[in-house]
Amino acid sequence: MAEFETYDREQAYQEIYSRFMQMEVPPCTQCGSLNTASVQVGVIGLTIRLAATCRKFKLIPNGPKTGNWFCNSCQKFFNIPDETDKRAAP
């Protein structure tokens, strides 16, 4: 029988937070700012905490997404033409 691994919320949060903070983000197509974030859909405790603490994580409660990226400077959603979805996911 395999051992059951204990789920550690703080460890999971830290790993996902680190993955997003290390992620390269594209510049905003509207204003050119590099202060952009990956757009994610859903509302659970972990994603709410990430949205509150990680500048590269933009949470919207329901889909569909207005864009794959969000500019924290001009507050607009955007996509990158011909982008492939190579972003981090929680």
Give 46's pLDDT tier (boundaries 50, 70, 90).
confident
Asked if 20 and 56 touch (Cβ cutoff 8 Å), the reply is: yes
CA nearest to 27, candidates 72, 59, 58, 66 = 72
Q: Tell how far CA 41 is from the center of its chain.
A: 9
Token pair in block for residue 33: 């700012």
Q: Tell me: the pLDDT tens digits for 18-42?
A: 999 999 999 999 999 999 999 999 8
Q: Please classify residue 79 by burial: count the beta carbons closer than 10 Å to its beta carbon, then call 0-12 exposed, 13-18 middle and 19+ buried.
A: middle
Please state whether the peptide bond connecting residue 64 to the residue before it is cis, i.e. omega within 30 degrees of 0.
yes
pLDDT value at residue 88: 47
